[in-house]
Amino acid sequence: MIEISGAMRRRVLLAAMALAAALPMAARAADEKKKKKSGGEHYIQIDTLIGTTNKSGGRRGVLTVDCGLEVEDAKLREYAELSLPRLRAAYVQVVQTYAAGLPSGSEPNADYIVQSLQRQTDLILKRPGARLLVGAIVAN
């Protein structure tokens, strides 16, 4: 018969308690992954894009663009999700460049911004099939 010391029992008990505490968190994380994302299962949310504008009197303004991608093809959607850092970097560059050249007091050209962002999407994903959806373009 093997004798277990008090220290060994405490270690086993602590390990069992830690495992019991971790199981509900793992189950919750799995449930959250299964939940439907906003915009549907084909929609990929992009964080808000921000660029700095110049206003009259030397003040600074902000141009913000809220957007996402609608990707029907499962393989392309998976590739797009893996490419999110590259997509976001390209989008931010487009918005910052456009915002820097925006004349003081003028409205942003939404068509131009959307076309530029869509062009970057197609270049990074290496083929068309992902549609850029814009929620709002705001210049303050």
pLDDT in tens, 79-117: 999 999 999 999 999 999 999 999 888 899 999 999 999
SS3 call for 120: helix
pTM of the predicted model over 0.95: no
Report pLDDT for 36.
44
For the chain, percent of residues with pLDDT exceeding 90:
61
Report pLDDT for 113.
96
- Taking residues 55-76, what's their average pLDDT? 91
For the chain, percent of residues with pLDDT exceeding 70:
83
Tokens of 134: 């814009």
Report pLDDT for 92.
96
pLDDT in tens, 30-55: 555 544 456 688 999 999 999 999 88
Separation of alpha carbons 42 and 39, rounded Å: 8
Question: Angle formed by the axes of helices 84-100 and 110-125, to 10°?
Answer: 150
β-pairing, 43-54 with 130-139?
unpaired
Tokens of 3: 């004798």
